[in-house]
Structure 1
Amino acid sequence: MRPRLRFSRSRLDTSRHDDPLSGVANLFDASLAFIVAMALALFSVMGSTDMLSADANWTLTRMTTDGELEVVSKTQQQIKVERVSDRKLSGQGERLGTAYRLPDGQVVYVPEQENGKP
């Protein structure tokens, strides 16, 4: 009588299971899903989904590569970019009017009339 094999042939045939990169695809898929989930969580926590709506008002300040401060503000459909610098300017020019700062912090510009008085 012939002795029975203890293991089946499919367990001994490991040539199909020797692909070293078979798990890399799964790691890539998992990391991509994790990145998307983190981005969605960040947007929802910071409330930045409101930045894209038409009636949103926001102000962003950042330093440019040349060291100037840049203020980007969005008021409904209008986006305004202003650069703030600490340089002193001099030269010749024409006085155009007077600016006043209101108690709430808003600045109002009053142009001068032709005779030189507001």
Structure 2
Amino acid sequence: MALSFVGRHRRYRSRELAENDPLSGVANLFDLGLVFMVGLMVMLLSAFRLKDLLDPNAKVTITKEGEKGEVELITKEGKKIRAMKLTGKKGKGRGTKLGTAYRLEDGTMVYVPEVNDDEDN
């Protein structure tokens, strides 16, 4: 009988301490913050259609323009990510024309590869 009284008394005392502690309601705010941050990251990835960034086999290319007008090209192939800053310098050398790019009325760009019949033979 004495043992059951001690057990009941301890449970009552711990409840009483929790009710009087002003920080007891703040204890789970850290966990709530973590859940909120993960949810926000998932929402941002889906809003900007960047789910491919998490896919280990996806190939993604992103262009980014800074405040001063510098352009940065970010490419992801598998797990490898490269960032290159583009300059206004003209390239020199020999090469082959691969196709033509067109800007449509809505602002999108379309690349049309050039078909070379000599390569097929």
TM-score normalised by length of structure 2: 0.47
| Structure holding more helix per residue | 2
* Structure showing greater Rg: 1
TM-score normalised by length of structure 1: 0.48
